[in-house]
């Protein structure tokens, strides 16, 4: 079965500091995509970053980067220089064969 595990229900970070959110997934597929989505309170979920499994290079989007370890089936999100606007629920997701699988989310608090 395809599953996505986020072991940190809640995390907090000081403003301007760096935080890493963890995600592991289970799959027998070789071709897939991985995503981190952000859901601010009462606002829509938006894509933060995407990683294609066939690419060895870790994806980066400004202050957001991932550590993709394909053999370990690990896909962590690093947020650098955290800002108050980064406070949200973060969902790790896996996509293959027209199917999406989401984790249970990590609630990130940014402390001023």
Partner 1 sequence: ETGVTQTPRHLVMGMTNKKSLKCEQHLGHNAMYWYKQSAKKPLELMFVYSLEERVENNSVPSRFSPECPNSSHLFLHLHTLQPEDSALYLCASSQDGTGHTGELFFGEGSRLTVL
Applying CB under 8 A, does 103 fall inside the site for partner 1? yes
Cβ–Cβ < 8 Å for 77, 70: no
Tokens of 69: 């370890």
Cβ–Cβ < 8 Å for 60, 12: no
Tell me which residues in 52-81 interact with partner 1 (CB under 8 A).
52
Applying CB under 8 A, does 44 fall inside the site for partner 1? yes
Applying CB under 8 A, does 43 fall inside the site for partner 1? yes
Q: What Cα–Cα distance (Å) separates residue 99 from each residue in 29, 32, 79, 95, 103? A: 12, 10, 27, 6, 14
Applying CB under 8 A, does 21 fall inside the site for partner 1? no
Applying CB under 8 A, does 98 fall inside the site for partner 1? yes
Contact residues toward partner 1 (CB under 8 A) are 4, 9, 33, 35, 37, 42-47, 50, 52, 91, 95, 98-104
């Amino acid at each position: 079965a395809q599953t996505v595990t986020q072991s940190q229900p809640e995390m907090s970070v000081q403003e301007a500091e760096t935080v890493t959110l963890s995600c592991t997934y289970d799959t027998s597929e070789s071709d897939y995509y991985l995503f981190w989505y952000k859901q601010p309170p009462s606002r829509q979920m938006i894509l933060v970053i995407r990683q294609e499994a066939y690419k060895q290079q870790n994806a980066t989007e400004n202050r957001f980067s991932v550590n993709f370890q394909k053999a370990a089936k690990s896909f962590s999100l690093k947020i650098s220089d955290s800002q108050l606007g980064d406070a949200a629920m973060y969902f790790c997701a896996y996509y293959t064969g027209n199917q999406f699988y989401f984790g249970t989310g990590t609630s990130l608090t940014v402390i001023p």
